[in-house]
Structure 1
């Protein structure tokens, strides 16, 4: 005899929840979905342009031909996602152009929703990540080499060459998210006493770090 439906429903719900938890970006249900600027409907298909209105230009992006402005750490990063490049919408991927001045760094950070693969276009970059056992996997990678950073693990980069380095990186999510460790720790509202005990810093040093990563803060 088959189990009663009311007994199967909780099991079906649990299995569905488990599968959703394991999923990354949802699989597309059509070839592509260029967002419809006119919008105005809650229907997912209606939020996409009619395929007859889509052109090759919708799948071309020219915004990474040159670096952007450099930060005080010597990093210029141009993120490319569906917000800036609509052709990526629903395709489950995004990318970034990163340029590093000589000695410049991409501070330790992680992407909670994506694995990243980085390709060195030019230069020499000390690059690596830290696993959950606190082991560091790092080496200098040069032009033409690729390194992968597993999803959710802290990783970093530093230009160790004699000229500006350029890195193109791709993510297997259209919204990978990013949390930079310095700004997450000192640019947020974490209690000063906790930071003092966790890092062995004085309140004065914590205040200095806060002002660096949270401009305008007095504390």
Structure 2
């Protein structure tokens, strides 16, 4: 009996020294590192760190792509920091498009809640997977692969994208090529596009060089 009590006592002692850290709410006042944000002191954490109302309203679609992506990543929603999850809202006006892009840090699961969205991705073997989605449909985009979403119904469309990372990252292919100071000559060499096309796209997207 004494032996059993000693074992139970040792288990409780071990548990006390091996406490699980339940969460790591992002300290947005600290610098972000490749490993993510540092944890806010537990004493400063409140319920508001785990709640967000940022996806209630539609994003502004009066822009060149007629679309808006409203992210709730760790930088906007501190409670998801370190949990390997996040979410974003996608609004597509008629004619709207989210151009070819990648999320280098996570896979994406898209749920359509309004309208019709044609979505697809390209595998590393250059195989194309495309489908027109409607309300209630979901589609997954594997981590790091180029993918896109296009309004396919002529009415405002809405979807919610969940990610397997609190900081999935985003790189839009068109912006990477034509919205910065990458020299036009290099763009032309690497894409086989003529100079007049590259210069036109840079003018539209605000690039130089």
State if a TM-score over 0.5 links the two structures: yes
Which residue of structure 2 aligns with residue 197 of structure 1? Answer: 189
Distance 1:125 1:38, change over 3 A: closer
2:52 equivalent in structure 1: 61
CA displacement at 1:199 relative to structure 2: 3.5
What is the CA RMSD across the aligned residues, in angstroms? 2.1
Among residues 95, 103, 107, which one is paired with 1:111 in the alignment? 103
Are 2:89 and 2:161, in contact at CA under 8 Å, matched by a contact in 1? yes
Unpaired segments ≥5 residues, structure 1 = 1-28, 40-45
**Number of aligned residue pairs:** 182
TM norm structure 1: 0.75
Counting only pairs closer than 5 Å after superposition, residues 148-187 of structure 1 correspond to structure 2 as 148-187=140-179
Q: Secondary structure at the match of 1:126?
A: strand
SS at match of 1:162: coil
Q: Which residue is 2:203 aligned to?
A: 211
In structure 2, the gaps of 5 or more residues are 1-19, 31-37
Tell whether the 8 Å contact from 1:67 to 1:77 is kept in structure 2 after alignment.
Answer: no
1:36 positional shift: 5.3
Q: Which moved more, 1:97-106 or 1:29-38?
A: 29-38
Q: Could you say what secondary structure the match of 1:57 adopts?
A: helix
Within 5 Å, which residues of 2 pair with 1:2-21?
A: none
CA drift of 1:49 comes to 3.1
**In the aligned structure 1, how far is the partner of 2:151 from the partner of 2:26?**
37
Corresponding residue SS for 2:165: coil
Correspondence 1:143 to 2:154: no
Normalised by the size of structure 2, how large is the TM-score?
A: 0.79
CA contact (8 A) 1:109 1:154 kept: yes
Cα distance, 1:35–1:193 mapped onto 2, change above 3 Å: closer
Aligned mates of 2:39, 2:143 — CA distance in 1: 30
Counterpart-to-counterpart distance in 2, 1:37 and 1:182:
30
